[in-house]
Amino acid sequence: MTHYEAIVIGAGVAGIYQIKRLADLGIEATVLEAGGDLGGTWYWNRYPGARFDSESYTYGYSFSRELLDDWHWKEHFSGQPENLRYLNHVADKFGLRKYMQFNCRVDAAHYDEAENLWRVRVNDGRELTCRFLILTLGLLSVPTLPRIEGMESFKGRSFHTFHWPHEPVDMAGKRVAVIGTGATGIQVIGEIADKVGDLTIFQRRPNWSAPLNNAAISEAEMADIRRRYDDIFAACSRSPGGFLHEPDRRGFYEVTAEERKALWDKLYDEPGFGIWLANFREIFTDEKANAEFSEYIANRIRQRVKDQKVAEKLIPRDHGFGVQRVPMETRYFEAYNRPNVHLVDIGETPLVRVTETGLRTTERDYDFDIIVYATGFDAITGAYDKIDIRGVGGLALADKWRTTISTFLGMMIHGFPNLLMPAGPQSGSASTNYPRGIETGVDWCTDLLEHMWAKGYTRAEPTAAAEARWTDHVTKMYAMMLMRKAKSWFTGYNSNVPGHEQGTIRYLVYNGGAPKYVNAINAVASGGYEGVTLGARHPGGTSSPSLASGRS
């Protein structure tokens, strides 16, 4: 049996940085990755139009000056192929690939109390053991398909956007259906509308969306960005979302309607999430302020979409702007002005089944060559549910989290010793510019490990009381947010996952903003990890970590 001091599950953005930290410390560790290669989100999501909504230079890792200096982001919002190249560049530059095992899906991870270690079962039949289990599973890594009849019967090609084929898909002249108009559907539709024969969009509920305003980055501009990296990352760490965009601190009601409109006109034409995150803070908390801004965006949609009946269907009625994740778009609304693009409102005429030749709604049959499912993810906890994770006394994590999620700082769980989640549910990473969040989470987890190794501890587990306090804090943060009323993956809603389709709120993300989160976790660390019981399971046992010499 092979033993490691630490096993990291998932070789995405978080797993790559986590193994870098462990490798630098000389710890014997491995990364188990279900995919055929590294990259996580950027390995899987190869659909046309997949790109950052974060400014590229705020998405890259900040840990290495040399890395920052040698990478040239080619676009302000870089696309999937380039993003995957970047992550491969990072792994190669720091020699991380040798620690990674691909095509290794972890089926189970059970805590062995007698030995104080984790037994990890891989789908190739191996059982590995480790002292520390570090889960970097991704927030949106378990795609979900609709539960409609006949999906296997379709004779054309069909795929979820997450499983978009690695080889190019020839769509020229084809009749294509896209189901779903979340961030993904909106990216795909804008990208393929002028490249396919006919495009039919099946929309259940529209989403609020605003222009990405992407542009290329020249050599000179990139040189300037490199000079400003310290300021860029400092700005990200000041902002609630880990972005360059900071809220407008003026009170919504302290300025005139004209001044508000002037800000919105400016933000609408600027790149990225500014329209969402550099807005008045009341947008997120005050129904009236939100309604006024939503109406502003609705008018923008009316101006961009020629057929006013279609425009009205693209305007959300069940939630205001920004209370769900705001998709950023490129030529999305203009797609509906094309004669080859058709909108089907499946809120009115629901999908009934997939047929051999296409889709059937309550109204009629449609024939297609390709069906694209842009139907989202079992977000944030889905990847945890897929592994049979058992803690003290054989308690299944899926059972512990069945009715309410509870964690300590979003990174540890009572009853699951030596299990760390640098970007777990209820952590800051789930609600921020992901790399900014995971660098914080990975550093905190690694600091805890270093503390344990230095002091000779072999077991860490948060107390039930500390976990209850954190979960209560996370829950209270939702109380002031309009977001709590919207059915989206932020609140744990997914119509395709049994148990999550009711829209009963699940407290999955930390809404206090990155600075507050970082203060909270740093206070725990500097206070000697109050709330975490640190101990040596076997008083006589060795505590020194096994170093990277390999030990089988």
CB 124 within 8 A of CB 360: no
CB 256 within 8 A of CB 294: no
Closest to ligand NA7 by CB, 492 or 545: 492
Q: Identity (one letter) of the amino acid at 307?
A: D
User: Minimal distance in Å, beta carbon 350 to ligand NA7?
Assistant: 8
Closest to ligand NA7 by CB, 134 or 328: 328
Closest CA relative to residue 181, chosen from 158, 202, 197, 166: 202
Closest to ligand NA7 by CB, 316 or 545: 316
User: Minimal distance in Å, beta carbon 107 to ligand NA7?
Assistant: 26
Closest to ligand NA7 by CB, 357 or 496: 496
User: Minimal distance in Å, beta carbon 252 to ligand NA7?
Assistant: 26
d(CA 8, CA 421) in angstroms, rounded, equals 10
User: Minimal distance in Å, beta carbon 173 to ligand NA7?
Assistant: 26
Closest to ligand NA7 by CB, 33 or 345: 345
The strand pairing partners of 372, in sequence order, are: 159, 178
Parallel/antiparallel/unpaired status of strands 175-179 and 388-390: unpaired
Closest to ligand NA7 by CB, 68 or 372: 372
Closest CA relative to residue 370, chosen from 189, 178, 190, 166: 178
User: Minimal distance in Å, beta carbon 495 to ligand NA7?
Assistant: 5
d(CA 515, CA 411) in angstroms, rounded, equals 17
User: Minimal distance in Å, beta carbon 320 to ligand NA7?
Assistant: 14
Q: Which residues bind ligand NA7 (CB under 6 A)?
A: 140, 146, 179-185, 204-205, 325, 346, 351, 374-377, 489, 495-496
Closest to ligand NA7 by CB, 62 or 141: 141
Closest to ligand NA7 by CB, 267 or 497: 497
d(CA 190, CA 217) in angstroms, rounded, equals 21
User: Minimal distance in Å, beta carbon 207 to ligand NA7?
Assistant: 6
Q: Identity (one letter) of the amino acid at 533?
A: T
User: Minimal distance in Å, beta carbon 82 to ligand NA7?
Assistant: 17
The strand pairing partners of 157, in sequence order, are: 370
User: Minimal distance in Å, beta carbon 346 to ligand NA7?
Assistant: 6
- With a CB cutoff of 8 Å and minimum separation 6, the contacts of 514 are 236, 237, 239, 240, 241, 242, 428, 432, 436, 437, 440
CB 430 within 8 A of CB 510: yes
Token reading at 152: 């296997």
Q: Identity (one letter) of the amino acid at 4?
A: Y
Residue with tokens 């600027």: 270
User: Minimal distance in Å, beta carbon 482 to ligand NA7?
Assistant: 16
Closest to ligand NA7 by CB, 326 or 460: 326
Closest to ligand NA7 by CB, 325 or 459: 325
Token reading at 543: 């505590």
CA distances in angstroms from 41 to 30, 31, 72, 212, listed in the order given: 20, 16, 21, 20
d(CA 185, CA 163) in angstroms, rounded, equals 14
CB 18 within 8 A of CB 445: yes
Q: Identity (one letter) of the amino acid at 159?
A: F
Parallel/antiparallel/unpaired status of strands 127-135 and 117-122: antiparallel
Does an H or E element contain 22, and which?
Answer: helix 13-24
Closest to ligand NA7 by CB, 184 or 429: 184
Closest to ligand NA7 by CB, 314 or 448: 314
User: Minimal distance in Å, beta carbon 427 to ligand NA7?
Assistant: 16
DSSP string, 412-468: B-TT-TTEE-TT-TTSGGGGS-HHHHHHHHHHHHHHHHHHHHHHT--EEEE-HHHHH
User: Minimal distance in Å, beta carbon 83 to ligand NA7?
Assistant: 13
Closest to ligand NA7 by CB, 271 or 535: 271
d(CA 448, CA 458) in angstroms, rounded, equals 11
DSSP 352: E
d(CA 80, CA 18) in angstroms, rounded, equals 22
User: Minimal distance in Å, beta carbon 60 to ligand NA7?
Assistant: 18
Looking at beta carbons, which residue is closest to ligand NA7?
182
